[in-house]
């Protein structure tokens, strides 16, 4: 169950948390995972690959939204239709009720992709 805090951040009960290759902690909620599977059922059974994309994949910053990053990593388990997983992450900072701040980096969506240069 999730609920908004006064600072606009969300408290999430069920989530997976990983660190990317740059040391950033990122989480994927059950709600977002269900959303991903609803629109991209090809990723059913590939939760570990999605999390591994966050851990070991490369990333590109979105030019028009500097707090948004696109992570991508090759995934041969999706062949022949796809060869990569793409994951979108929002980086933000939230304020706790006691006034301290914390990083709130979370997955918004993911999908399988066929990227040239296999």
Gap between the Cα atoms of 26 and 28, Å rounded: 7
Q: Name, in order, each residue with C-beta under 8 angstroms of 78's C-beta and a sequence gap of 6 or more.
A: 42, 46, 49, 84, 85, 112
- In the three-class reduction of DSSP (H, G, I as helix; E, B as strand; rest coil), residue 44 is classed as coil
Domain that holds residue 41: 14-113
pTM of the model: 0.87
**Residues of the chain falling short of pLDDT 50:** 1, 6, 118
Q: Is 56 helix (H, G, I), strand (E, B) or coil?
A: helix
Residue 118 within any structural domain of the chain: no
Question: Would you say residue 67 lies in a domain?
Answer: yes
pLDDT score for 11? 61
When divided into structural domains, the chain yields a total of 1
Does 68 reside within a domain? yes
């Amino acid at each position: 169950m999730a609920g908004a805090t006064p600072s606009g951040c969300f408290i999430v009960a069920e989530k997976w948390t990983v660190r990317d290759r740059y040391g950033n902690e990122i989480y994927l909620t059950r709600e977002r995972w269900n959303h991903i599977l609803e629109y991209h059922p090809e990723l059913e059974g590939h939760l570990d690959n999605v999390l591994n994309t966050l851990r070991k994949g490369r990333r590109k910053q979105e030019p028009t939204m500097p707090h948004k990053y696109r992570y991508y990593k090759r995934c041969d388990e999706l062949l022949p239709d796809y060869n990569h997983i793409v994951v979108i992450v929002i980086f933000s900072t939230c304020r706790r009720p006691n006034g301290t701040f914390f990083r709130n980096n979370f997955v918004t969506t993911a999908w399988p992709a066929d990227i040239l240069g296999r």
